[in-house]
Amino acid sequence: EPEVTQTPSHQVTQMGQEVILRCVPISNHLYFYWYRQILGQKVEFLVSFYNNEISEKSEIFDDQFSVERPDGSNFTLKIRSTKLEDSAMYFCASSEGIGRLNTEAFFGQGTRLTVV
Amino acid sequence: DAKTTQPPSMDCAEGRAANLPCNHSTISGNEYVYWYRQIHSQGPQYIIHGLKNNETNEMASLIITEDRKSSTLILPHATLRDTAVYYCIVSLSGSARQLTFGSGTQLTVLP
C-alpha cells in the first residue's frame, strides 16, 4: 500500500538553527500538507500546497516557515531559525484531489523535532 | 468549518462494537463528516467520510442522522489495536481544505 514517508523520524537542533523536514508524498497525489502536534496538544494545520504554490496557511505558518517541492518527489518544510516552542511532531500529508473533490488525506508517521 | 463535539473518552470490550458519537449541529449543506484516528503519537489515519448517506468500508460504518446534526462511527468488532484517539471533523468539499482537529475521543478497547 502506498504511504507518505518522512525523514528523519527524530531531529534535535539547537535554538536559532535552521532545520529542514523532508517528506515523500504518495506519487500520484497533487495536494500536500504540513501539520504539527505539540506534545499533549491538538493536531494543528500549518500549510497546504498545490501546483507549486501555497493554497492555504494558518497563523502558525509565519515568515520563519517555508515549504518547497524541490523535485518531483520531495516536499520539504523549512524552519529558518528554530525556537524552543517549535518542538513538536510534524506530520506531512498528501491527497489525490484532482477529479475527486473529497479525497482523504494520508499522513506520514511524523518527524519529532526537539529544539534545545 | 462547523465545530464538532465528542466525548473525551470511551471504553469498549474487545470483540464488541464500538459506537463513537459526534455532534455537529452547525454543519452546513456542503460540509462532509470525516473520521480520522491517531494511534499513540503516530500520524492520523483516515477512516471514513460521508455527506448525508450512511457509509461503510472495511474499517468502519458511518451513520449520519437525517438532519445531519450528529453522526456515529461504528467499529463493528473492536480489537486492542483500535485503541486510539478518534477525531470527528467537518470539512468543506475540496482537497485543499485544511482539517481542523479537535480533542477527539480516546477509545480504549479492554481485553
- Summarised one tens digit per residue, pLDDT across range B34-72 is 999 999 889 999 999 999 989 999 999 999 999 999 999
Which positions in chain B touch A30 (Cβ < 8 Å)?
Answer: 95
Closest CA relative to residue A24, chosen from A114, A106, A115: A106
- Are residues A31 and B96, on separate chains, in Cβ contact within 8 Å? yes
Q: Which positions 38-57 of B are in contact with A (Cβ < 8 Å)? A: 38, 41-46, 49
* Residue position matching grid coordinates 510534524: A90
How does residue B100 score in pLDDT terms, banded at 50, 70 and 90? confident
- Whether the CB of B34 is below 8 Å from some CB of chain A: the reply is yes
pLDDT at B93: 59
* Residue position matching grid coordinates 496557511: A57
Q: How far is CA B74 from CA A28, B45, B62, in A?
A: 30, 16, 6
**Which residue of A54, A90, A102, A109 is the best one to mutate when testing the B interface, meaning the one whose CB has the most B CBs within 10 A?**
A102
pLDDT at A102: 56
**A5 CA: distance to closest CA in chain B (Å):** 11
pLDDT at B80: 97
- Are residues A48 and B34, on separate chains, in Cβ contact within 8 Å? no
pLDDT at B108: 98
pLDDT at A72: 79
Residues facing B91 on adjacent strands = B32
pLDDT at B27: 92
pLDDT at B104: 96
Which positions in chain B touch A59 (Cβ < 8 Å)?
Answer: none
pLDDT at A32: 93
Close Cβ partners of B60 (under 8 Å, ≥ 6 residues apart):
B35, B47, B48, B73, B74, B75, B76
pLDDT at B94: 46
pLDDT at A33: 94
Interface of A with B (CB under 8 A): 4, 30-31, 33, 35, 37, 42-45, 48, 50, 55-56, 58, 89, 91, 93, 95-98, 100-110
Residue B68 in contact with residue B53, Cβ under 8 Å? Answer: no
- Distance, CA of B40 to CA of B109 (rounded, Å): 13
- Whether the CB of B98 is below 8 Å from some CB of chain A: the reply is yes
pLDDT at B33: 92
Higher pLDDT, B41 or B11: B11
Residue B3 in contact with residue B20, Cβ under 8 Å? Answer: no
pLDDT at B71: 97
The mean pLDDT value of chain B amounts to 92
pLDDT at A81: 95
pLDDT at B35: 95
User: Average of pLDDT values for B94-105?
Assistant: 77
How does residue B18 score in pLDDT terms, banded at 50, 70 and 90? very high
How does residue B97 score in pLDDT terms, banded at 50, 70 and 90? low
pLDDT at B41: 82
Residues in chain A with pLDDT values less than 50: none
- Are residues B96 and A106, on separate chains, in Cβ contact within 8 Å? no
